[in-house]
Structure 1
């Protein structure tokens, strides 16, 4: 399967930024103490953390599969899991992938299910919106808890404001995509008409683009036409965050930190804001934010906090890259008939 992906020199630069962030964090944390903390981690607890953490990826893949069935995309559950993990791998190694990886993931779906690209794109973006929703519902719930108990201050206030803004913007985008009022498609078509009017012999190109916009709009309207399905599927995606909280619980046990539910809940959900950085998969910025939150909620040294951050990513992020790469190698361009795997 050929994939339309290229990192280029800008991508290499962002990988360099990630390396600098990691190096700076380890320098501040004391590299020797960090390595010592890693070496003291309990392997049994850490193995449990890996198993539970990886299950969060499977939950998100299940959300994809529910959407595939909703949009009449014929594929098996195992192939859906492999497509999702392939997309996760490509998203995670591509700078800015967190902002624009869906077109590549839609290409993967279209290429492996014999589905038109417009339907695949609507399906992938809609599923990813539902998969992202729990982070912000949990985050806002946690921040509300802190506000009620009078401990919402400093950095947490900034995170609260940013979270609210993301929820408002994301909610508006989801509404415009799924709404049947065609406001977004109409606006795009008007823009295309205005741009095309400035160039000679562009009429056929503009008409072709407008037809594609109309097809994409129809696919999104179908994807968002059942509120009951959206609600139940969003409920399923919340299980992924529960799995990550449980995974962090066992990570903390493995390095001797006494876990407490409220800090675990907040660390998992607040740190996700850092994944929106331009670095590949949010690497570097995520570990910095995660470590800062650990030291905020627990009386531990920075080296211990960095250890927790690295181990947690080894349970919820890095295994997905390894399995995602293998999944990418197993996918074929031609779809497999349902039940034939």
Structure 2
């Protein structure tokens, strides 16, 4: 546990270092001056938009849990998703690093098996890629149409959009096409690992191969149930699209608060591309995401670097810092409830 705390602390130090370098390159004085010019009323609107974003994506989780036969109240789903965002934001590699903890929080709140919670958060996170691709394609189309020439950053954006639009659907198709073979391979690889860990963990007997196989099959079965439920897929996609629209609106409104009104196509492009930086080995991709957003805003919309940095800090304050703080409280409460419900473990 101490090792995990040190790793998290080191990650945040790294993220703060990247942000500090970004602001230093842009200009500390100019960035602060732009922040001080921000309209307080518009800043409050940014917070409101962030709340709508979290609500939409929380309801996407509610839709998936309902399809899995472990329904929770919509308000509970929103709070639990906020806790999941917290876990993503404090672990390296964003969603990939935070999903195991998110699954534990979800299974605790929904009183379900761990693999059901893992299937739910994995499904929601996967679904989020689909609207992001659509927004990025629309944004790039309009931005490129208005560009005099394709600069280096716009070429990078084109490549990133192509990867999102082609690579992810192909990967999803291949994974679904060979899902049973994938399931068998996961069972083969993870069974000896889990049993080895079970032998060295105090007061825990190693699970049998049959139990491990049944749990992994339960995870893949839950994924298949959701994927073949057309109503749930469409509902989750719609809520995810609303959330992405809110993220784009948050960045646009943050820029407006600083005094810059950019084309809507710009934020439709840069927000999905910025999210790719969450794979950086920093807590929730913090530092990397801000750098990508500022770079793309300067190159695609001609926003001064200091204004772009200020707006991005406002946007990330509402969509990273706020849910992290709220989610920390929810995660702590869920952890306490889980410990109280299983005192003998």
Q: Say whether the fold is shared (TM-score over 0.5).
A: yes
Aligned pair partner of 1:282 in 285, 294, 311? 285
What is the CA distance between 1:148 and its match in structure 2?
A: 5.8
> Which has a greater percent of helix?
2
Give the structure 2 partner of residue 95 of structure 1. Answer: 92
Tell me, yes or no, if structure 1 residue 23 matches structure 2 residue 20: yes
Give the structure 2 partner of residue 307 of structure 1. Answer: 310
Number of equivalent positions: 327
The within-5 A match list for 1:212-231 is 212-231=215-234
Tell me, yes or no, if structure 1 residue 273 matches structure 2 residue 270: no
Give the structure 1 partner of residue 264 of structure 2. Answer: 261
More relative contact order in 1 or in 2 (CA 8 Å, sep 6+)? 1
Cα distance per residue 1:140-163 (max 9 Å; x no partner): 332344556675452233333334
Aligned pair partner of 1:44 in 29, 41, 44? 41
Tell me, yes or no, if structure 1 residue 155 matches structure 2 residue 157: no
Give the structure 2 partner of residue 240 of structure 1. Answer: 243
- Matches of 2:325 and 2:237 in 1, distance apart? 27
Cα distance per residue 1:84-111 (max 9 Å; x no partner): 1111112101222432311211111112
What are structure 1's unaligned runs of at least 5 residues? 335-341
Inter-CA distance 6–62: structure 2 relative to 1 (3 Å threshold): farther
Inter-CA distance 177–333: structure 2 relative to 1 (3 Å threshold): farther
- Matches of 1:217 and 1:76 in 2, distance apart? 25
Cα distance per residue 1:112-158 (max 9 Å; x no partner): 22211122211121122112322222113323445566754522333
Deviates more, 1:73-82 or 1:203-212: 203-212
The within-5 A match list for 1:325-336 is 325-331=328-334, 333=337
Give the structure 1 partner of residue 294 of structure 2. Answer: 291
Inter-CA distance 232–307: structure 2 relative to 1 (3 Å threshold): same
What is the CA distance between 1:302 and its match in structure 2?
A: 1.7
Give the structure 1 partner of residue 342 of structure 2. Answer: none
Q: Secondary structure at the match of 1:282?
A: coil
Cα distance per residue 1:18-38 (max 9 Å; x no partner): 122111111111111111111
Contact 1:177-1:220 within 8 A present in 2 as well:
no
Contact 2:139-2:267 within 8 A present in 1 as well:
no
Cα distance per residue 1:53-93 (max 9 Å; x no partner): 23111111010001111111132112211211111112101
Superposition RMSD in Å: 3.0
Q: Secondary structure at the match of 1:182?
A: helix
Inter-CA distance 191–31: structure 2 relative to 1 (3 Å threshold): closer
Give the structure 2 partner of residue 62 of structure 1. Answer: 59
Deviates more, 1:237-246 or 1:153-162: 153-162
Contact 1:177-1:221 within 8 A present in 2 as well:
no
- Matches of 1:129 and 1:119 in 2, distance apart? 15
Contact 1:131-1:234 within 8 A present in 2 as well:
yes
- Matches of 2:286 and 2:62 in 1, distance apart? 27
